[in-house]
Amino acid sequence: MPNRKQYLIANWKMSKTTNQAILFMQQFSVNSLNNSEIQVILAPSYVSLSILRDIILTASAPITLAAQNCSSEESGAYTGEVSVTMLREIGCQYVIIGHSERRTLFGECEPILSKKVELAVKAGLIPILCIGESRELYETGATVEYLKQQLAPYSSTLPFLLAYEPIWSIGTGLIPTREDLSTALDAIDSKFPDTPILYGGSVNRKNISDLLWHQRMNGFLVGGASLEPDSFFALYSAMNQNNHHG
C-alpha cells in the first residue's frame, strides 16, 4: 500500500469570529508542525481568510487554508455568494464542498455540488467533497448504496479529496465501528483508488487512534476538537506518531 499524504483539517464552521481565529493562531504551536507528510488545513469563515493568510505567511507556518463553501456560479448577480476565483485570489488552496450541514440545512445536493466541484477544480482549488449517510440509512444497512449514489457524478481522475462523514456521527460523540468504517472506506476505494479519503465525525484526542489504523485513512476533517489549539494539536501529534510507527 503506498504511503499517501495525510491531511488534518479544522472546520471551524460559524464558531469563531476573526478575533478568535487570530487568538487561536497565537496559541497554536505552529513551530511543532514538523512532519511534511501531514498537511494541516484551516477552514475559518470567509471573513477571517485574509487575516489568517497574512498570519500564516508571516510565521512561514506549514498550514494552508480552505473555505467552507463556494458559489456554484462563476460570477455575477448572486448577492451574498462567494466565487471560487475570489477564494483562490484570497489565498485558499482548498474548499469544502457538500458538508452535511450544507446538504441538510441549505438543501444542497449533487447537481449543485458537482457544479461547485467542477468550478473549484477549474479555478485551481482542491475540493474536499463530503459524503456520508444519515442515521436512518445506516440503520437500514443502506450506507454503501447511498455512498455510491452520492459519488456517481464524480470521475475517479478528479484532483480532489473525499471526506467520509456519517451524519449520525457529526457532533454526537459517536464513531463507526471498525467494521462499518472498513465497509465504507472499501466502497469509496473501489471507485476512487487514488483519491485521498478522510474521515469526519466526532474525532477527538481520545478516539483518533481507533480511527487511524485503516490503511485507506488519509486524515481527518474535524469540527469540535479543532476549536481549541491544544486539542487540535493533540490530533496532529497522534497522526505524527502513527506516521512514524505505522
Name the site residues for ligand PGA (rule: CB under 6 A): 11, 165, 170-171, 200-203, 221-225
Residue 123 or residue 175: which is nearer to ligand PGA going by CB?
A: 175
Closest contact distance (angstroms) between CB of 45 and ligand PGA is: 14
Q: What is the 3-state secondary structure (H, E, C) of the chain?
A: CCCCCEEEEEECCCCCCHHHHHHHHHHCCHHHCCCCCEEEEEECCHHHHHHHHHHHHHHCCCEEEEECCCCCCCCCCCCCCCCHHHHHHHCCCEEEECCHHHHHHHCCCHHHHHHHHHHHHHCCCEEEEEECCCHHHHHCCCHHHHHHHHHCCCCCCCCCEEEECCHHHCCCCCCCCHHHHHHHHHHHHHHCCCCCEEEECCCCCCCHHHHCCCCCCCEEEECHHHCCHHHHHHHHHHHHHHHHHC
| Residue showing the smallest CB distance to ligand PGA in the complex | 223
Place of cell 510507527: 245
Residue 156 or residue 222: which is nearer to ligand PGA going by CB?
A: 222
Closest contact distance (angstroms) between CB of 171 and ligand PGA is: 4
Residue 117 or residue 211: which is nearer to ligand PGA going by CB?
A: 211
Residue 194 or residue 210: which is nearer to ligand PGA going by CB?
A: 210
Residue 38 or residue 175: which is nearer to ligand PGA going by CB?
A: 175
**Catalytic residue positions?**
99, 165
Distance CA 86, CA 102 (A): 20
Closest contact distance (angstroms) between CB of 132 and ligand PGA is: 9
